[in-house]
Amino acid sequence: MNLAQDSRIVMTLDAGGTNFRFTAMRGGAPITGTAALPSNGDDLPQCLANLIEGFTRVKALCPEAPAAISFAFPGPADYPNGIIGDLGNLPGFRGGVAIGPMLEEKFGIPVFINNDGDLFVYGESIGGFLPHVNGLLEKAGSPKRYKNLFGITLGTGFGGGIVRNGELFIGDNSMAGEVWLLRNKLNPAMNAEEGACIRAVRRVYAERSGAPFDEVPEPKILFDIANGDAPGNRDAALEAFRRLGEVAGDAMGNALTLIDGLAVIGGGVSGAWPLFLPALLEELNGTYTGPKGNTFRRLTSAAFNLEDASQLEVFLKGETRTIQVPHSERSIQYDPLQRVGVGMSRLGTSEAVALGAYAFAVNQLG
Predicted confidence (pLDDT) per residue in 225-259, tens digit: 999 999 999 999 999 999 999 999 999 999 999 99
User: Is residue 294 scored above 70 in pLDDT?
Assistant: yes
DSSP designation for 341: E
pLDDT bucket at 74, cuts 50 / 70 / 90: confident
pLDDT at residue 1, as a whole number: 63
The DSSP bridge partners found for residue 35 are: 22
Residue 76 has pLDDT above 90, yes or no: no
Q: What is the SS3 assignment for 354?
A: helix
> What pTM was computed for the model?
0.93
For residues 119 and 121, what is the distance between their CA atoms, to the nearest angstrom? 5
Query: Is the model's pLDDT at 313 over the cut of 70?
Result: yes
Asked if 134 and 146 count as a contact pair (C-beta separation under 8 A), the reply is: yes
| Residue 88 banded pLDDT, cuts 50, 70, 90 | confident
pLDDT band at 184, cuts 50/70/90? very high
Report the distance separating Cα 161 and Cα 163, nearest Å.
Answer: 7
Residues 240 and 336 in one domain: yes
**Are 139 and 22 found together in one domain?**
no
Q: What is the pLDDT of residues 35-57, one digit of tens each?
A: 999 988 889 999 999 999 999 99
Same domain membership, residue 329 and residue 312: yes
Q: Please tell me whether residues 129 and 255 are part of one structural domain.
A: yes
**Last residue of some domain: 97, 114, 131?**
114
CATH number for 55: 3.30.420.40
Judge whether 131 lies within some domain. Answer: yes
Contacts of 123 (CB under 8 A, 6+ apart): 347, 351, 352, 353, 354, 355, 356, 357, 359
Instruction: Residue 45: give the domain boundaries.
Output: 3-114
Judged against a pLDDT cut of 90, whether residue 87 lies above it is answered with no
Number of domains in the chain: 2
